[in-house]
Amino acid sequence: MIHATPLAALRAGGKTALARALAQLESSPDEAAITALLDEAHALPTAHVIGLTGPPGVGKSTLAGALIQAYRAAGKRIAVIAIDPSSKRSGGALLGDRTRLRTDPEDDGIFVRSMAARDQLGGLAEITYAAMVLMRALYDVVLIETVGVGQSETDIALAADTVLFCVQPGSGDSLQFMKAGIVEIPDVVAVTKGDLGRAAIRARADVKGALGLGAGRQEEGAWQVPVLIVSANAAEGIDRLVAAMDEHAAWLREAGRLARKRAAQASAWIEAAIRERWGREGLKRLAGSLADVTADTRQSPFRILAELARRL
C-alpha cells in the first residue's frame, strides 16, 4: 500500500488542511511532523514568490487585490501572506488583511493568510519564511504583502523571488526612495494611483533617476528595473505589471540565479532564526557548525535548524 506524503495529503485537503497546517506551524514550529512537511515543501517549489512592499497608505492592499484577480484570470492559483502589525496583548495579527482583500471564499485557487510581524519592527517574523516555503510548494504564485514600515522594506528580499516596490505620487515617497537606501531592493517598481496624471509621471521619472544611481545596475547582464504607472482601482497597467514580474522570474531562472538566490535566503533565515531563539551567544556557539551545515544548499533549512538546536 502506497501512503501519501505529508505534502500530498495537504494538497488533497485543500484550503482547510493548509489553514490547519499553518496554525500548527505557528503554535508548534519545532514538531517533527512540521519539520518533515517543511522539508518536503522546500524540496518541491512550484510558485513564483512576489514581495509587495512600500510605505503605508501607498495602496498595497488595493494593488494586491488587483494582482489576485489578474493571476486568477490567467488560471494561476495564488496564496497571499499579509503581514500585519502585532497586537501587544496577543502577539497575533492586528489588522487582518483578509478583511481588506476582496476575494471569493469559494475559490479554491485563492488562499489568504494574515500573519503577525511579532516583535519585528515591520520586519518578517521567523514563521513567515516557513509559511512561504509551504505555500510555495502548493500554489503557482505566492504574494507577501508587508506592513511597509521599519525593516520590512528590506527584509522582504530575504523571502521573495521578485520584490515589487510601490511608490505613491505627490507623497514624497520617491524622494524617500532615493534617501533610504531602498534603491537596491526592488526588482519592479509600481507608481500607484496613476490616475493622478502628471504627478505619477513625475514620480516615475524621479524613481528612474534614483535607480540609475544604484550600484551594480549598469553591469552587463544586470536586471534593469522597470518603473510602471498603475491604477489598481481602474485596473490600468496591471497586465503590464504582471508581465514585468514574469519577465523577472524568467531572468532569475537563467544561469542558476534563482537557485542561488533561494539558497542565500535559506542561509539568512537559519542565521536569523538562531539569533531570534538563542541570541548572539547562540550564533557565537554555533558559528563553526553553521558554516559546515549550510554548505550543502540542497538540504532543508528547517532540518539544518533542528540539527543545530540539538548541538546547543
End-to-end CA distance of the chain: 40
| Confidence at residue 218, expressed as pLDDT on a 0 to 100 scale | 63
pTM of the model: 0.90
The residue with cell 503605508 is 56
| Confidence at residue 294, expressed as pLDDT on a 0 to 100 scale | 63
- Long-range contact list for 233-240, CB < 8 A, 24+ apart? 233/62, 233/195, 234/194, 234/195, 235/66, 235/69, 236/194, 236/195, 237/190, 237/194, 238/66, 238/67, 238/69, 238/70, 239/70
Low-confidence ranges of the chain (pLDDT < 70): 1-4, 85-102, 117-123, 149-153, 173-181, 213-218, 288-297, 312
| Confidence at residue 261, expressed as pLDDT on a 0 to 100 scale | 95
> Grid coordinates standing for 94?
492586528
| Domains in the chain, CATH or no CATH each | 45-255 (3.40.50.300), 262-311 (no CATH)
| Confidence at residue 60, expressed as pLDDT on a 0 to 100 scale | 93
| Confidence at residue 92, expressed as pLDDT on a 0 to 100 scale | 45
| Confidence at residue 215, expressed as pLDDT on a 0 to 100 scale | 57
Burial category of 57 from C-beta neighbours within 10 Å (exposed 0-12, middle 13-18, buried 19 and up)? exposed
| Confidence at residue 173, expressed as pLDDT on a 0 to 100 scale | 63
**DSSP collapsed to 3 states, 77-133:** CEEEEEEECECCCCCCECCCHHHCCCCCCCCCCEEEEEEECCCCCCCCCHHHHHHHH
> Grid coordinates standing for 256?
542558476
